[in-house]
């Protein structure tokens, strides 16, 4: 097996139509591998949202770095702002902050569920295509 004996290989019969079938199958594989323009194109709404988010991020960073340092709260101001003399008021403020956190967390989980559904759909389509290739 170390040395190829070409005479022995030429004696092996080749089935009729094998070359055409192989050529057709290779063409199918190449066609399946070629991405269509529609597969990688994002919907228009997603592109607009992405552009708006980029602009908002750049503007936010610009405002952060361009504001004067005097407006930044000092450690003394933070201590005065965070200290509540009335425990009831402190509890109400803590509950308000936790409710806000829970609301935003629930919104994020909703987006996460949509992304997972899209991921599952994509995975199923990929599995289906892989089964076709087998």
What pLDDT digit, counting tens, does each position of 96-129 carry? 999 988 888 888 888 888 888 888 888 888 888 8
Q: What is the pLDDT of residue 38?
A: 54
Has residue 2 been placed in a domain? Answer: no
Tokens of 55: 């602009």
Has residue 61 been placed in a domain? Answer: yes
Q: Can you tell me the distance from the alpha carbon of 122 to that of 134, in angstroms, rounded to the nearest whole number?
A: 19
Q: Can you tell me the distance from the alpha carbon of 108 to that of 114, in angstroms, rounded to the nearest whole number?
A: 10
Question: SS3 of 77, please?
Answer: helix
Whole-model pTM over 0.75:
no
Do residue 132 and residue 92 come from a single domain? yes
Going from the C-alpha of 42 to that of each of 32, 37, 49, the distances in angstroms are: 20, 10, 11
Average pLDDT over residues 69-77: 57
Cβ distance 134 to 32 under 8 Å?
no
Do residue 68 and residue 88 come from a single domain? no
Domain span including residue 134 = 84-134
Tokens of 120: 């599952």
Has residue 3 been placed in a domain? Answer: no
Give the count of domains, the chain: 2
* Tokens 């996460």, located at residue: 112
Do residue 44 and residue 66 come from a single domain? yes
């Amino acid at each position: 097996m170390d040395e190829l004996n070409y005479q022995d290989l030429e004696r092996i019969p080749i089935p009729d139509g094998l070359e055409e079938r192989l050529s057709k199958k290779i063409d199918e594989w190449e066609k399946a591998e070629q991405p269509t323009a529609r597969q990688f194109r994002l919907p228009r709404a997603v592109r607009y949202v992405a552009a708006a988010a980029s602009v908002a991020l750049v503007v936010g960073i610009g405002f952060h770095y361009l504001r004067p340092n005097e407006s930044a709260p000092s450690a003394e101001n933070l201590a005065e702002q965070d200290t509540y003399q009335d425990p009831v008021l402190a509890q109400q403020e803590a509950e308000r902050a936790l409710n806000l956190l829970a609301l935003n967390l629930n919104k994020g989980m909703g987006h996460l569920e949509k992304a997972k559904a899209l991921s599952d759909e994509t995975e199923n389509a990929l599995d289906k295509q892989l089964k076709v290739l087998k």
